[in-house]
Amino acid sequence: MDVVGKKSQGLSVTCLDKDKVAILAFNDRSLNFYVTDALKENLKELINTKIDEGYQHFVLNMENVKIIDSCGVGLIIAANNLTAAKSAKLYLTNIKPFIIKIFDIMRILKHLNIFETEDAALQEIQQGSQA
């Protein structure tokens, strides 16, 4: 069980300079009210910095996320909107089925680029850059 008021564990970042792809992974088990404020600012700053460096693709690995609330969904929507506004793309990977169901119920599923694995998203990016 998560401790109330727990601080965010943050994000892990891997940059693929050749393809200008940033792979981001949440380190938190829960994307909830207690961690999203700090994460939102870090995520926003990171995306803006990487876009300024020429990155156009952001793979958000959600493998560690087991629990999400409306604040966590808002964080995903904010990241998606930020990348879209800057002509970049966000790809979500490794999402638990019940979280996908939440996205579906909230009717945002069709607005997100979801892939089963990180490799599948990277393959999509590679194919898109070759076209």
Would residue 5 count as lying in a domain? no
7 neighbors 39 (Cβ within 8 angstroms): no
Backbone φ and ψ for 116, nearest 5 degrees, come out as: -65, -40
What percentage of the chain's residues is helix, strand, coil (to nearest 5)? 45, 20, 30
Q: Is residue 124 part of a domain?
A: yes
Q: How many domains does the chain have?
A: 1
Is there a domain that residue 59 lies in? yes
| Token pair of 103 as six digits | 């996205």
Stretch 64-69: mean pLDDT: 95
Assigned domain for 4 exists: no
CATH number at 75 reads: 3.30.750.24
14: pLDDT strictly greater than 90: yes
Range of the domain at 63: 11-130
Check residue 86 and give its pLDDT. Answer: 96
Confidence of residue 37 (pLDDT cuts 50, 70, 90): confident
- Looking at the whole model, is its pTM more than 0.85? yes
